[in-house]
Chain A
């Protein structure tokens, strides 16, 4: 995946009537560049999904990979069978009446039991992954409170450092790599969705109900985060970025923020 300088691409804020999310010069090669990226950006076996920049996200990604392998097998059987039928039985002539078969109990039982076994397997795998993804560490390395509001985010760190959306600037959430951050997610007004595509993870920020979840980043870099649940007029502009740094860098950053201006 390409790294991106997130802030420079988003120039106008909501003070102007709309976002200018693309530099004018970028527009012409868009289609071509997009096509190239669509082909080159990811591994084929990623099947289009982010590999998950957290351990939780990576578990979800692995589950997705397994699903796709299963889908390929089932699709080959189903669509292959359909294609066979269309080719094999599409060439009969005229009004010839075929054998009037009504049912075949053995085959019907077969196509009931096999799908049941498949969804049983999917259920088993889902519950396993779900337990890992939803597990909350009793002693996290960092406690972070994320507050969603119309239309921005506030990230509050334990020492009182608070990063918040201000006008045209999207806030940046900084996380230490390899350490577990326990997130407390709340909303001040309507339902929002905390969503980081690179983490393969989203969770609603609900008014009146607090959600907790763990994030354990395992890749350095800067990622786009956004609101995924429609929350009103500027829903599309409710962006933030996530910067994953080494624990040492994180500590340095956190103490420097503590000394400087906090929002």
Chain B
């Protein structure tokens, strides 16, 4: 019977399998393996987001401590390596993780789109006329492909804003992050942009951090009930920390009114260094 059914019904595959790449690249060829890569890079990116947020809390200790924190990042590795070497390694790693995460996201989404061809009344999206009430899918899980690109665009804006200083112009002082943050976030539109983008980030992490467990098969019925809470906790922590910066700048808590050191990239930085020493 199996024979005749096979002859009569054979649905054409939606995609053909390509020749296998050598191990371990072949893992990335499969969707399941690619989700592993998404999850592993996701762990790296969530870790980054968390550490980045915690590090930025130095801004509440004033310009000198913030200066010192930035300087610490540049001198990680101590005298063993050239200055900024470890920092550049981390940047390289982050860029690589971003690239992989993005590539996996785009290709997997594409795969799902093809698998849903003809699956909607309207072309493209899968949709039932009877209405789909999403029972289990959360708002966060359904918007991953929107929050993702929002984060990507925000990231570019954020780098141009506070790393490259593209539009702060002469107001941007390399090596004085407190000043740069206070200046940039004192603009209301910029502050709003940071709030919106970080809300997107938190949504992304809320689903992502839970999803990691499933994608990697980290599953133990004894602890599974903790996974949602953990994801919400991490997302919430990053959200609260990151939102505090634009909001408290707008309300005036982060400001340069009582600043001791001059604002420039010569004696200003020397003054900050000395103040940090004095602590």
A and B part of one assembly: no
Could you tell me which A residues sit within 8 Å of B by CB distance?
Answer: none
Could you tell me which B residues sit within 8 Å of A by CB distance?
Answer: none
